[in-house]
Amino acid sequence: MKVIRARSAGFCFGVKNAVNTAYKMADERDPSERLIMLGELTHNDKVTKDLLQKGFEIINDAKDVPDGCKVIIRAHGVTPEQKSILNSKENVTVYDCTCPFVEKIHKIVKDQTGEGNSIILTGTEGHPEVEGIRGECPDKVTVISNPEDLEKTDIDPEKTVVISQTTYSMDSFAKVCAKLEKKIAKEKIFDTICNTTISRQRETMSISEQVDVMLVIGSSHSSNTMKLYEVAEGRCCRTFLVGDAEDVRRLIGEGKINKDDTVGVTAGASTPEAIILEVVQAMDENEKEILADQEQTDINFAEYVDNIPQLRRNSVVKGAITKYDQDYVYVDINDKSEGKIPLREFDGDTDYNLDEAVANKQEVTVIIKSIKNTDQGKEIVLSKSAVDFEKHKQALQEAYESKTPVTAVITSAVKDGVIAKYGGIDIYIHKTQIKMGEVKDLNALKGEKIEVLITKFDTEKNRLRVSGSHRQILIQERKAKEEEVWANIEEGKHYKGIVRSLPAFGAFVDIGGVDGLVHNSEISWKRVSKPSDFFTIGQEIDVYVKSFDRDTKKISLGYKKEEDDPFYNIEERIPVGAIVKGTVVRISDFGAFVQLEPDLDALCHVSQISNVRLKSPSDVLTVGQEVTAKVTKIQAADRKISISIKEVEPIDPQEDDLYAVTDAADEQPASSEENTDSAEE
């Protein structure tokens, strides 16, 4: 029988720390002291029974905790109210073993509700961790157990924040995020699923797809155990939840596990190593001998809690960050001597804020580079980057296979592109794949974060080559926006658009994934000779749809506004009969054009200037001269206004010029309104 055991199975850091602390309390206990667990320390009956035998009592409410005792708070944490009650007790020593990841969620809820936000918490209703988190602000926290619950939940896009129970299903959380993608900003979604939970679920997925039988060790009361069971059951039809080796013996006896089966084994965060070993040994080829020995010996959980593989070079271990200096970060790896990691390995790693990591004893996975015995003790040199490389390599491979974008930081420019770093791994991005247009200065991009789609993941010849593209993401986004535009477009609809190009005949404007044309005639009420006189590339402008054709994918846009038309509401602003003042701007043989307002000219026919018949308006008028006139006719549709100067203040020639003007006028035929219109045209 082949057995594949998950490396991440068993106690997580938080539970292990709590159980370690409990056994230490029991070992140091004065016979007269009362030891209290505020709720069961872990969802494991055997561990709980063992601690009860060592003198612990279980009390579920801080109000019932007696004075003068020692109390341990489990990794799930409790409500602020419960902590406050404990602190008010006399001579009560509190050992707070709340998991750092859980404490982080408490802080998020406290800060966000303090800013007036409501919280959606994905998790199991009634679970101790969930109830503790909800206790930060019960009126503002809504618990949902699955993505479908969102349909019944009120969501304010500006005032809703999403967080998760540390042991929630990462698949379900991804579905929740997908449903909220267009409702809530990314910065409002906090992925607070514990890293250990994510690793354990991913490992369970992988193993359960390879085996004939999958065993999930743990309690049905454990949230993280049941999530593992759900993950495995969806991939392996023979998945069983077992509590201990006795359950495995029963399954073997019932023929549900056969000697030729490949069996996968994983365990929830509340399952001690002792029980995992029991289960694995129960399937050993020498099963009867091993089981016979075990039946005669009780399991000592305290020994198994501290039981870790012997430290050796190149082994991978986990530890808690305890302190750091200018050269190293120090890690407790359950050895008499702490290990140290070069400080430079944390440069640019956003997963670790060292001050917070020390305060929370944040867990880190490392590889042992060397172990030396010195006069001062054991010197253990660790490396995080070697582990990170494998972790990030796997993440990039998954991103490549699932076509999921990743965020990297551009660190350098090369001849034909840039290099971006993702957890120490180089991603090459060709200059044509950085954006939609041309990138002129690659060096200017250094230090920028960029979202990329992994387009190449090559491990041939034992050398990793990774390429990515930001342009493909933009193309996908543009395509989605384009579909949305065509689904909702209608004549008269207004958009905020971006000017993309300025050919001689108009401006192409992006209205959200689709380009429309603002023709020169739609740019301004003035004559447009060059669109670049009005717009610049990249400028944001307000436009509206004049017409569109779905078949040819063409959209005509308007920009100029009706109210900006000099002839807008003209008959109300300047009615016939109104006395107006203006400036002569142009003179022709048949009359003078007078500017009444900017871009609004009126024609005063030569016959309407003077009481004397003039050879030309220039006999009495000059460009720039101010005149007073009466509005005699308005043709708004033809964009024409006629005025008369002589009906208000006729301008006659000087007496010296009168005869010359009259003689010249006699030689011309009489003018008429029809002649005026013809001349204008």
* CA pair distance 546, 555, nearest whole angstrom: 8
Instruction: Centre a 10 Å sphere on the Cβ of residue 230 and count the other Cβ atoms it contains.
Output: 16
72: helix, strand or coil: strand
Q: How far is it between the farthest Cα atoms of the chain?
A: 143
Tokens 């430079």 -> residue: 344
Dihedral angle at the C-alpha atoms of 234, 237, 240, 246, nearest 10 degrees?
-160
Q: How many Cα atoms within 13 Å fall on the side-chain side of residue 590? A: 15
Q: Look up residue 14 and give its two tokens.
A: 């938080």
Strand locations in 486-625, DSSP E?
494-501, 506-510, 515-519, 540-549, 554-558, 579-587, 591-597, 600-605
Can you say how many angstroms the Cα of residue 262 is from the centroid of all Cα atoms in its chain? 41
Tokens linked to 54: 């060592």
Structure tokens at 522: 């739609």
The amino acid that residue 340 corresponds to is K
Which of 82, 113, 78 shows the shortest CA–CA distance to 99?
78
The token pair at 210 is 């390879």
Provide the edge-to-edge strand list for the sheet that holds 118-122: 141-144, 118-122, 160-164
Q: For this structure, is 401 an active site residue?
A: no
Helix (H, G, I), strand (E, B) or coil at 293: helix
Amino acid present at 646: K
DSSP collapsed to 3 states, 398-424:
HHHHHCCCEEEEEEEEECCEEEEEECC
- DSSP-derived pairing of the beta strands 579-587 and 591-597: antiparallel
Of the listed 33, 103, 129, 246, which one is catalytic? Answer: 129
* Of 9, 55, 3, 11, residue with least CA distance to 33: 55
User: Per residue in 624-652, is it b (16+ CB within 10 Å) or e — as a string?
Assistant: eeebebbbbebeeeeebbbbbbbeeeebb
Q: Tell me the three-class secondary structure of 545-583, residue by residue.
A: EEEEECCCCEEEEECCCHHHCCCCCHHHHCCCCCEEEEE
Q: Taking Cα atoms as reference points, which of 93, 76, 110, 109 lies closest to residue 28? A: 93
Q: What is the 3-state secondary structure (H, E, C) of 133-154?
A: HHCCCHHHEEEECCHHHHHHCC
In angstroms, the Cα distances linking 362 to 163, 309, 321, 478 are 19, 21, 6, 41
| Long-range pairs for 433-438: beta carbons < 8 A, 24 or more residues apart | 433/468, 433/469, 433/470, 433/471, 433/472, 434/470, 434/471, 435/470, 435/471, 435/474, 436/471, 436/474, 436/475, 436/478
Per the structure block, which two tokens stand in for 573?
């602003």
Distance CA 591, CA 604 (A): 6
What amino acid positions are annotated as catalytic residues? 129
